[in-house]
Structure 1
Amino acid sequence: MPEDEAPPAPPDALLQVIDNLARFHREHEEYYAQAPLRQAGELQARSRALKSLADRWSDVEAGERTSTIAFAGTEDLNAPGLVAESGILFMEGEGEPAELQRMKHEVATLADETESGAAWLARSMEQAWEIAGTLAAYSALADLLGERHRIIANDWQSADMQALVARLLRRALDLLARVDFSPTALRADLRGERRTPAYLYSSSELFDRAADLMVQSATLVHENERRWRTFRARVRQLQSESGRRPGPGSADA
């Protein structure tokens, strides 16, 4: 190639597509670099609640119903400080606390949403991988192909982590389903084999691992921010050098 000849660059239409992807997918990933951190924090709070109950029920002696009032709190089953922190309140004459039911429902919803998101992201990365391979034909982008493929690799790995998170959450719910959280059943267990604390500890550990993977997933996505910015800057430089300006749809907000 003569020294004064520019290296082959993608055609204008392709540059516009790449610019669009670099802009909007960078913004999309900025959200997903934060949302899992919030979800992980909420999951850790649920894990702490389970551990608090397990700690309490590992040592406390089962009591008797101390009040004829159905809404009176159980002196033996409620963990110190947990009612104010989580709202989980065991009451005489009642069944499983509504807060525990809501916790399990929310975790099940999170598992479904995480699994769905992981499947979508994995499919998207299959397509992105193929498209990125075609960019090798344009030497003007050759030095940034590593960056582009690293973005895809990070997102793909994040998708795998999210799929595992969904599995962990569902297995934790399976373990919790083996516990009868009514005061009568809990007291019977405390007078017998005390199996309930073991199920709660194991469930909380699965919650903990799922939360850890959520944080790692967010970290992988967060690492892409500079790579997207660098890649888009090159695309816009090529548009400018060729006398083509980005269309209205790709202008910065």
Structure 2
Amino acid sequence: MQTERDQLLLTVRNLARFHREHEKFYSESPFHDVIRLQRNSRALQALAERWLVVEPSGEKYLSPFAGAPDLNDDRATETLGILFMEGGGEPAEITNLKRDLRALAEANRATGQWLTSAMSTAWDMLESLLSYPELADLLAERHRIVSNDWQCASMADLIARNLDRAVAILGRVDFTPAALRADLTAHRVVPRYLFSASEMLTFAADLAARSAVPTHENERRWRIFHERVDQIVGAADPPSPTKSH
């Protein structure tokens, strides 16, 4: 019959095994968001740089699908497909960009909240390991895993906040060609909004990249801790009964 001590060790071993594998995924996945956010940032920066200096176009075109030569920037078109057309409103790519950023913000917020709750529970549970002399030299290592993951939770929340604010900044801009050209002939406020939004996306990308570092650092700690718990559980297992002849 399993004792409470046995059940705890089995639980600790289970967590060490499966959460180690789980973190292998999360040590890689932030870099997908980094690339995505950097591309978004570069596209917005390219538009801002162009709109800071370009003069409004006075050319007339017969087709409403003609590209707006003053508003388009090849870098933004090549990177995200952003195309301003003479008879169009806000490009669909910009609408999609704001939608995707909101979704990414919500995903990071949910991750941060779940991870904060999980690490709070884990921290309290780890206190029970203090009564295991066999784990005395690895207590700091196991607590560091939790501390690192808690740090990742905080960064996920910061990523969400920066993405939300970047979308709010973009929401201050009327991306219709008529409104943009009006800004080009006035105070050119729109490029400054775009520079700010771009910088916030870059910072969110930097945070995502940094969040992978503590997770990478956890791998060795998970490995040596799991090996030790395996040894303790194995030593506690009763020998298999031998058959009598």
Shorter-chain TM band: over 0.9
**Runs ≥4 residues deviating over 6 A:** none
The residue number in structure 2 matching 1:224 is 218
Alpha-carbon shift at residue 64 of structure 1 (Å):
2.5
- Give the counterpart letter for 1:92 in structure 2: E
The residue number in structure 1 matching 2:25 is 31
CA deviation vs aligned residue, 1:98-125 (integer Å, no higher than 9, x gap) = 0011011000000011001100000000
How many positions carry a matched residue from both structures?
Answer: 236
Q: What is the aligned counterpart of 1:196 among 190, 197, 200?
A: 190
The residue number in structure 1 matching 2:243 is none
- Give the counterpart letter for 2:5 in structure 1: P
Alpha-carbon shift at residue 244 of structure 1 (Å):
5.5
Check whether the contact 2:149–2:215 (CA below 8 A) recurs between aligned residues. yes
Check whether the contact 2:46–2:75 (CA below 8 A) recurs between aligned residues. no
Check whether the contact 1:87–1:99 (CA below 8 A) recurs between aligned residues. yes
Q: What is the aligned counterpart of 2:115 among 117, 121, 144?
A: 121
**Are positions 1:145 and 2:139 aligned together?**
yes
- Give the counterpart letter for 1:63 in structure 2: S
Provide the aligned C-alpha RMSD in A. 1.3
Alpha-carbon shift at residue 220 of structure 1 (Å):
1.1
**Under a length normalisation based on structure 2, what TM-score does the superposition of the two structures give?**
0.93
The residue number in structure 1 matching 2:152 is 158
Distance in 1 (CA, whole Å) between partners of 2:190 and 2:197 is: 11
Mark the runs of 5 or more structure 2 residues left unpaired by the alignment.
240-245
**Are positions 1:58 and 2:58 aligned together?**
no
**Are positions 1:78 and 2:72 aligned together?**
yes
Distance in 2 (CA, whole Å) between partners of 1:25 and 1:105 is: 31
Alpha-carbon shift at residue 82 of structure 1 (Å):
2.5
- Give the counterpart letter for 1:200 in structure 2: L
SS in 2 for 1:149: helix
The residue number in structure 2 matching 1:215 is 209
- Give the counterpart letter for 1:220 in structure 2: P
Alpha-carbon shift at residue 128 of structure 1 (Å):
0.3
SS in 2 for 1:194: coil
Alpha-carbon shift at residue 65 of structure 1 (Å):
4.9
Check whether the contact 2:44–2:76 (CA below 8 A) recurs between aligned residues. no
Q: What is the aligned counterpart of 1:107 among 101, 111, 114?
A: 101
SS in 2 for 1:59: coil
Distance in 1 (CA, whole Å) between partners of 2:238 and 2:101 is: 50
